[in-house]
């Protein structure tokens, strides 16, 4: 298994190109199941989760091709892919494929809407909480699907097609909103979603669906209306920039000091995180080219943070922000309200000398003046990013094991950081 070696202490200076968003790319790719025409996605990131989803979609009959690199295009440029599900050859998504990535469960929606049946293994994914799918299934049932759980599979049927409905989510769910959008797009009649997720990735999916001929209004607000159509067409769409990747590097710069342009990042997609960074002493500036973050000289100030659905501070940046707070000149409280078990990074951050106490759904972080490099283990995707941030500021060497977690969601992490002056290298298995 690959490892990442980091020698801390260098400031970050330069430009980091922000890749296409993993959490937008996955639902956009899944939406290709809704039509027999070609969906073209530009700016698709090169990530393990994207490759895994390609395997899953191929199993259903999706043909997938990638454009070659164009003249003058750097290796960091996102890929352009074409996906065509001319015929759905299999409506089962098996355990071996789905258990490795939770988002792959979302194929249940287009399969049910287009074929009237789907058999999808209950999901796996990062170990950050129980993460049920009851609300996704509730949405499909409201749309007229009948659902049974059999042998670890959700078996959904709608032989006469789906029909529009009022769906009220008791809790904001990104996956539930994606599933409802895709299923309702091909249902008969009008669907209204109440308490829908407002994340930028939801807007991106709705934009692609509308380009395909869907009739969706209100995406990005709590109430979304979808008028179903009989069939959807192909379309071309550019994946939005990854706000979590951008937020992660923003926190890395706030941690090490320096000055970095996060090229292509859109401040309005992660404004709450940028506001918190500004309170912690970093300088944040939104420019035409992206978002510029710097910290020169001043101390890291403690800031209390609570995660919540968009537009509030995202749970996917909680671990990274905690890494930053380990070096603050005071005490901060970080409260996680989305996932009950998303504190696995706490014990790994302690290996650097961080002082963190858990108190229910909060972590109380007492900043220390110095972190020291250590051998640590990545436990989930975003937790791994917090270890990278701590390592960049720690004295001496850190060796991060199990970096396959990072490869799920951060494209070319070590290259992007080294280009800004960090001492970071990947040590390949056997190397």
Residue ranges binding ligand EPZ (CB under 6 A): 23, 26, 102-103, 126, 129, 131-136, 171, 173-176, 197, 201, 315-316, 338-339, 381-382, 409
Q: Which of 28, 97, 120, 126 is catalytic?
A: 126
* Shortest distance in whole angstroms from residue 311 CB to ligand EPZ: 12
* Shortest distance in whole angstroms from residue 416 CB to ligand EPZ: 18
Cβ(272)–Cβ(314) below 8 Å: yes
Radius of gyration of the chain (CA): 22
Taking CB atoms, the residue at the shortest distance from ligand EPZ is 175
* Shortest distance in whole angstroms from residue 247 CB to ligand EPZ: 12
Cβ(291)–Cβ(250) below 8 Å: yes
* Shortest distance in whole angstroms from residue 68 CB to ligand EPZ: 28
126 is catalytic: yes
**Residue of 265, 385, 276 whose CA lies nearest to 335:** 276
The residues near 13 (Cβ < 8 Å, ≥ 6 apart) are 258, 259, 260, 420, 421
CA distance 45 to 412: 10
The annotation places the binding site for phosphoenolpyruvate at 22-23
Residue with tokens 């290996």: 351
* Shortest distance in whole angstroms from residue 172 CB to ligand EPZ: 6
- In Å, how far are 139, 164, 175, 185, 203 from 190, measured between CA atoms? 14, 5, 20, 9, 19
User: Between 197 and 365, whose beta carbon lies closer to ligand EPZ?
Assistant: 197
User: Between 83 and 338, whose beta carbon lies closer to ligand EPZ?
Assistant: 338
* Shortest distance in whole angstroms from residue 155 CB to ligand EPZ: 17
Percentages helix, strand, coil for the chain (3-state, rounded to 5) are 35, 30, 40
User: Between 102 and 292, whose beta carbon lies closer to ligand EPZ?
Assistant: 102
The annotation places the binding site at 22-23, 102, 131-135, 316, 338
* Shortest distance in whole angstroms from residue 430 CB to ligand EPZ: 29
42-15-207 Cα angle (round to 5): 25
**Residue of 401, 405, 404 whose CA lies nearest to 375:** 401
User: Between 283 and 337, whose beta carbon lies closer to ligand EPZ?
Assistant: 337
Which residues, in sequence order, are bridge partners of residue 261? 15, 292
Phi, psi of 366 (to 5 degrees): -100, 110
Cα 217 to chain centroid, rounded = 24
**Residue of 114, 132, 119, 116 whose CA lies nearest to 93:** 119
The residues near 55 (Cβ < 8 Å, ≥ 6 apart) are 97
The annotation places the binding site for UDP-N-acetyl-alpha-D-glucosamine at 102, 131-135, 316, 338
CA distance 15 to 38: 34
Quick one: tokens of 302? 């403690």
Cβ(425)–Cβ(399) below 8 Å: no
* Shortest distance in whole angstroms from residue 242 CB to ligand EPZ: 10
User: Between 123 and 257, whose beta carbon lies closer to ligand EPZ?
Assistant: 123
Q: Strands, DSSP E only, in 128-253? A: 146-150, 153-157, 166-168, 190-194, 215-217, 224-227, 235-238
CA distance 199 to 52: 23
Cβ-based neighbour number of residue 223 at 10 Å: 12
Which active-site residues does the annotation give?
A: 126
């Amino acid at each position: 298994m690959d490892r990442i070696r980091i020698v801390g202490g260098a400031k970050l200076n330069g430009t980091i190109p922000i890749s296409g968003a993993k959490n937008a790319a996955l639902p956009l790719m899944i939406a290709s199941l809704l039509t027999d025409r070609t969906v073209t996605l530009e700016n698709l990131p090169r990530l393990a989760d994207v490759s895994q989803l390609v395997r899953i979609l191929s199993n259903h009959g999706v043909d997938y091709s990638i454009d070659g690199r164009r003249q003058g295009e750097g290796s960091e440029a996102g890929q352009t892919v074409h996906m065509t599900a001319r015929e759905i050859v299999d409506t089962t998504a098996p355990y071996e494929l789905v258990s490795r990535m939770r988002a792959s469960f979302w194929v249940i929606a287009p399969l049910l809407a287009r074929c009237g049946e789907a058999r999808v293994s209950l999901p796996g994914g990062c170990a950050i909480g129980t993460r049920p799918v009851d609300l996704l299934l509730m949405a499909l049932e409201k749309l007229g699907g009948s659902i049974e759980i059999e042998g670890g599979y959700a078996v959904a049927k709608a032989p006469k097609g789906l029909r529009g409905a009022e769906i009220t989510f008791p809790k904001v769910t990104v996956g539930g909103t994606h599933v409802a959008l895709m299923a309702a797009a091909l249902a008969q009649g009008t669907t209204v979603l109440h308490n829908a997720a407002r994340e930028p990735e939801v807007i991106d999916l709705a934009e692609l669906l509308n380009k395909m001929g869907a009739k969706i209004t209100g995406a990005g607000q709590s109430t979304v209306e979808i008028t179903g159509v009989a069939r959807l067409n192909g379309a071309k769409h550019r994946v939005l920039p990854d706000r979590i990747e951008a937020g992660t590097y923003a926190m890395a710069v706030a941690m090490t000091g320096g000055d970095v342009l996060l090229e292509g990042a859109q401040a309005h997609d992660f404004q709450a995180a940028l506001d918190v960074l500004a309170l912690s002493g970093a300088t944040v500036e939104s420019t035409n080219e992206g978002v510029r973050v710097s910290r020169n000289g001043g101390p890291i100030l403690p800031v209390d943070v609570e995660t919540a659905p968009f537009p509030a501070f995202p749970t996917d940046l909680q671990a990274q922000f905690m890494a930053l707070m380990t070096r603050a000149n005071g005490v901060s409280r970080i409260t996680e309200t989305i996932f009950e078990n998303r504190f696995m990074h706490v014990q790994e951050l302690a290996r650097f000398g961080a002082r963190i106490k858990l108190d229910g759904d909060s972590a109380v972080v007492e900043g220390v003046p110095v972190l020291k490099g250590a051998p640590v283990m990545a436990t989930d995707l975003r937790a791994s990013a917090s270890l990278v941030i701590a390592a960049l500021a720690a004295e001496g060497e850190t060796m991060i094991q199990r970096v396959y977690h990072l490869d799920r969601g951060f494209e070319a992490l070590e290259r992007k950081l080294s280009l800004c002056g960090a001492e970071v290298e990947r040590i390949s298995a056997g190397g």
